[in-house]
Each structure stands twice: as structure tokens, then as C-alpha cells.
Structure 1
Amino acid sequence: MDNEVSRTHGWLVTIQRRGVIHRKHFSDGVHGGKQKSFAAAKTYRDEVITKNPPFSMREYSNIVKKNNRSGVVGVCRYCASETRDLPEDKQRWFWVASWPLPDGRRKRVKFSVKKYGEEGAFKMALKARKDALRGLDGAFDPGAVRRKPARRKTESSELRKAA
């Protein structure tokens, strides 16, 4: 942070874990310069992360949201949007299972109520989610979806450069 108006210079560390915000400012003046305040900020950040590790993917995937109506995290009943305005007997309903992927995207699988019945589609969605969660490893990264993956060089791009 460098704000000439308020004469504030330093580093601000902000980390949120399980609903608690850990925030601390490291002033350049108090710590003896930019490098020293930066080093102190990194030390604090590392201590907070050590004491408060991020959610695992499995932990994050089991958080019950306020808008959950199915009673099961990651499983919901869904009407195909193009049939929502049709009479009820013409609407297409599904039970949908969803879970996060390591890169921040979500995977969704839907099961037709018409094809499998209400209970059958629901049970299939439950099983699909349970099977997918078994394979989840690692820490949850809420910023993963905002970061674009690095573009890989392809053979065709190398050929265009050579031409």
C-alpha cells in the first residue's frame, strides 16, 4: 500500500479462513523500510496459513449452502430451462449432481426423472456425486477459476513462427 494522501506505506495481509478474517498492516516506517516490512508481512502470512490451512476440496464440497432445498450438498432438482414455461406434463425434470474440479470449474451430471423415475434419478445423482468426491484431493483454491491456464505452445504455432 502506497497512499501519499494518507501517508500510508506498507503491506497489508488479508486472509479469510472458515469465516474468520485475519488482517494486519505492516508499515514501512515501523519495520525499517519496504523490504523489511514485506518480509514481516510474508512471515505473518505464513504463520496464519500454518495455523489455519485452507479447506480441502472434500471439506469445501460438503459445505451446506443456505439455498439448499434437496437436503444433500451438491444434488438438486432441475427443470430444463427451455421447457420451464410449458405445461407440467411437457416439462423435462432432472436430478443433478455437481462437484468442484481442481481447476475451479464444476462438473455436473444430470439424470432424467422421466427416464429413471423421481427416486431412481435422485439415487443416481447421489451415487455420481459420492463417487466423484472419493477422487477429490488437495486444497480448495477459490481463485483457480479466475486464473487463466498458461497457453501451451502447439506444433502449428511453432510452424507459423518458423515460416
Structure 2
Amino acid sequence: MGSNDKSRAGQRPEDDADTYALTREEPNKNRGAGWSVALRRRGHKIVRLFKDSIYGSAETAYTQARAYRDAIITALPPPTNLEQAVKLRRNNQSGISGVRRVETDQGDVWQATLLTKDGQKKENFAVGRYGEEAAKSMAIAQRARWLRGLPVKHLAYAHHAEAITSTTFAEQLTPAINVLPQVQISAEEVAARIAEINARFDAYRPPRLRVRVKSYGKDRLSIAVSDGGQPAQRKLMQINTASLSPEEIRASVRARIYSTIGAVYDADVAQWFAEVHGDALLTEGAFDVSEGFNVLVWVPVKAELSL
């Protein structure tokens, strides 16, 4: 399922609801395959990879990636053209965006400007004719008149993003009230919303299970079972192997691991681990007491365990 496969007639793929900000990442030596989300919102570059191996399939990874993208779009609208128009640049000296004092061949003026889709509006107010304060006030007033007539829209450059934004943040499309800078969402709120969405999607990931068997010197075997969380729920146990045969050691390790997984998760997960991983790891030919093993796996969701 590539992004080009989901394009629709008459639309650029990046504008389509199925593909906007979504990229299929093929496996390489550093990571596995998955679906990547990449977009910018409010000065933040937001990138997150949803791996096939974590979610069980490319289709499920894609579904999660798309849901994450929509969560970001729904929480963080792009700026409006009005926000951009009244935003103060670093070199602004008048305190009002689009208003500046300019030296011309005809004398000093206060100049009002506004860039629109039809080009740049510009009007000068001569200091020599109106006086310093009056010329500046007239430039500000002209700028305000232009802004009040500006059709306000979000600067969303994809159809899908525009559709969500116009519905969710319609209240931001009211005409200009004045020429002062506007902040629809503070930088702190932007960071908080991104953090909340990331935490929510972290919780959506399938749970993990780590099982470690390690030898600590002669006749002492350590077993650790953890849910891989942060902080992790971990259970540790020791086996004295001095009087045990290799077969008895394997049986003891197997029993401890499966009962502990049952305590950390439940009996279904313990059975799944035994069938998919544990029994193979603990065969006579595979298990070496001196080396042990350390495995980290993603636990299938409950519905998959019951199949």
C-alpha cells in the first residue's frame, strides 16, 4: 500500500486524505518498515514512525499513522493569513506590522502595505503634509481598513488539512478587529497539545514483554520478566541449579517464566509466549545455561490472542 496507490483523480497525492503527510518507509539496516507521519505546525516539525513490527501489520501501522496525523491537525491549526499579516517581524520599528517610516524622493512618509493574493497594496502619508503623528495614525488606519476587508482563511496547503481545520477552528476566521499581533495558541499550549497526543498514541501501542535468563556464576541462574514499560513492572527470581539436571533446569526455567508472565499479564499471554517463543528458546539444543537469553517482544492485542 504505497502513497501513489491511494491518489485520486484530480488531486495531488499529498492533498489526499489517505496520503497527506504520510510516507511509506521501507526497511533498512537501521530500522524496520513502517508508515511515517511528517508535518509542520506552529513552528514545530512533527515526525513519528509507526512500525509494522510493533502494530502487527502494515495496514494497522498505516491506520495508526493516519489517526495520529488527524489528531495533530485537529489539535493544531495552521496560522491564518490574518495572523501572518499582523505578525511583527524582527526589523519592525513602528510596532505595527505593515506600517513603516520611509524616506522617499518626495520626502519622508509613513507607509501602509498589505500583501494579498492580488498583489501588494501600498499607500503613503507624507510627514511634511500631515505631521509625524497624524501621518503615522493615517497609515495605521489604512492598514486596519485593508485588514478588515481581508477574507480570513487558514494557511492549509492540502485539501484534507483545510477540511478538518475549517470545521474545527471556524471561530478563528472572523474578520480583523485591529492591527495588533494575534496569538491564537501560545507556544506553551502548542507544546502541551503535542505532548498529550504523543502520550495518547504511546498508550495505544501494543504492550511489550521482556524475558531475560542469565547465569551469575556457578549454580546460579537469574530470571527477569518485565512488561517493558516506563517505569517497568518487573519480577526477578533466582534458581539454584547445583542439584538439577539440564532437563530439570529447563523445566524449572520454563515453569517460572510462564507463571510469572501469567502474573504480569495473564494466562493467555503466557500461553502465547510459550507457543510462539518460549518453547523454542528452551529446547535442549537451543538453551545454553551459561549464555541464557534476553528477548523483547510485542504482545498481541487480546483479540489476536483468542484467534
What is the TM-score normalised by the length of structure 2? 0.36
Q: In structure 1, what is the Cα distance between the partners aligned to 2:123 and 2:35?
A: 47
Aligned equivalent of 1:125, options 135, 139, 162: 139
1:140 paired to 2:155: yes
Query: Higher relative CO (CA 8 A, sep ≥ 6), structure 1 or 2?
Result: 1
- Which residue of structure 2 aligns with residue 96 of structure 1? 111
Deviations 1:43-101, CA, capped at 9 Å, x for gaps: 11111111112222222322222221111122122345xxxxxxxxx575443323343
1:22–1:4 distance in 2 versus 1, CA, 3 Å:
closer
1:135–1:29 distance in 2 versus 1, CA, 3 Å:
farther
1:3–1:67 distance in 2 versus 1, CA, 3 Å:
farther
Deviations 1:129-155, CA, capped at 9 Å, x for gaps: 1112112311134x69xxxxxxxxxxx
Q: In structure 1, what is the Cα distance between the partners aligned to 2:140 and 2:100?
A: 10
Unaligned residue ranges in structure 1 (runs of 5+): 81-89, 145-163
> What SS class does the counterpart of residue 33 from structure 2 fall into?
strand
Q: RMSD across aligned C-alpha pairs, in angstroms?
A: 3.2
Deviations 1:15-39, CA, capped at 9 Å, x for gaps: 3333444332122333344444333
Deviations 1:86-123, CA, capped at 9 Å, x for gaps: xxxx575443323343x5x7623130536744444423
Identity of aligned residues (%): 30
- Which residue of structure 2 aligns with residue 108 of structure 1? 121
Instruction: Kindly indicate whether the alpha-carbon contact (under 8 Å) linking 1:9 and 1:28 is maintained by their aligned counterparts in 2.
Output: yes
Q: In structure 1, what is the Cα distance between the partners aligned to 2:144 and 2:49?
A: 42
1:126–1:32 distance in 2 versus 1, CA, 3 Å:
same
1:25 paired to 2:49: yes
